[in-house]
Structures are given as structure tokens and as C-alpha cells.
Amino acid sequence: MIAYLQGRLSEKYPTHVVIECQGVGYEVHISLHTYSQLGDQEQIKLLTHLHIKEDSHTLYGFCDDFERALFRLLLTVSGIGTNTARTMLSSVSPNELKDAVIREDVRLIQSIKGIGAKTAQRIILDLKDKMIKLTGDSKSVTLPHNTNKEEALSALEILGFSRKSAEPILEKIDQANPGLTVEDLIKMTLKQI
């Protein structure tokens, strides 16, 4: 396992860098977050994750251990591969992603290219406890957020209703009847759509 690379930055692109270490150039795939952290340094150190497949060995680089830990956690979710995990870390910052998972913000996670409602919910279900343990950030869990409403809205989208038409109706029902279960919210919304 290659834990990190330290050397001269010989090429820098938004999707990858080439780091020269002792005369060998290593191509390392990076997220936009890491790209923005690199600046114009000539000597750099990137923490790495080596992904081995039958036909390739690919290095992924990270500016800090937290981003690498999130990347590795994302890979444990069924249906999330290295490219999707890198896209997620390029679309939102590691802290935003962590907060979204802990707050169960399906909408934010689903807004990432390639992530649908079911995958967003699976990410939350699989990673929420792990992220709280990783960061020790249990106070984020108590942030005000109506997860029943979000779950109902996601379920309605899966049923084929557009978010644009379902959300205002769901919002009115939730305001008039706070504390309804997900099932009740869905049933009452379906009656009014």
C-alpha cells in the first residue's frame, strides 16, 4: 500500500496531478477540493489510496486525512465506485458532505451528478453512524431538519411525481400537521396531487 507521495509537482490538472518522486512520475487522480488546496506549490505531499482492479492500479490523492477517510467510507457503500466517490468530493466539500450525511440531507446528496434518490438514502443509511464516529460530531445530528418530509418527498419522486409539483403540497400538509409519519405524509400528498 502506498500511504502518501511526496515530491515535485510536475503536472497539475483539475482531475489529476503528476508527482515526481526520485525520478519516477506518479499520476494521481484528485478531486476538485484537493486541486483547489494545492495552489502553486512546487513540492507537495498527497495522502493516497491505491485502487487495484484486474486491469489497472490507480492512485487517488488527497490533501488531508479527512478527505481520504471520507473517500474510503464512500467506497464501502454498495453502488459507489472510485469515480463516483471522487465526483462527490469534487461537487461538495468534505465537510459539506459529512454534514449532509449526518443531517440526512437527501436533497443535497441527490444534487450530486450520478446520485439518485435511492443511492442518496443508502449513503445516509450506511454512513451516518460511521461519520459521527469518524468526526465525533454528534451535535450535527440535532440540527433542525425534517427527515420525514424529505423521505416522503424522495418516495414520491421514486413513484414518478416531480419534486416541483409534490413539494408545495407536502410542505402545506407538514405545516398543518407537524409530526406525521412518512407513510401518512405520502398518503395525504397523494390524495391532493
Q: How many CB atoms lie within 10 A of CB 68?
A: 22
pLDDT of residue 137: 58
Residues 106 and 165 in one domain: no
Residues 138 and 71 in one domain: yes
Q: Which has the closest alpha carbon to 68: 39, 105, 28, 41?
A: 28
Residues 90 and 58 in one domain: no
Helices (H) and strands (E) in the chain, counts: 9, 5
Beta bridge partners of 53: none
Q: For residues 156 and 118, what is the distance between their CA atoms, to the nearest angstrom?
A: 12
Cα 60 to chain centroid, rounded: 16
pLDDT of residue 107: 92
Q: For residues 104 and 93, what is the distance between their CA atoms, to the nearest angstrom?
A: 16
Residues 55 and 81 in one domain: no
Residues 123 and 92 in one domain: yes
pLDDT digits (tens, 9 = 90+) for 78-99: 999 999 999 999 999 999 999 9
52 is in which domain, residue-wise?
A: 4-62
Report helix, strand or coil for 144: coil
Q: Kindly report the pTM of this predicted structure.
A: 0.69
| Full DSSP string of 3-22 | -EEEEEEEEE-SSEEEEEET
pLDDT of residue 142: 38
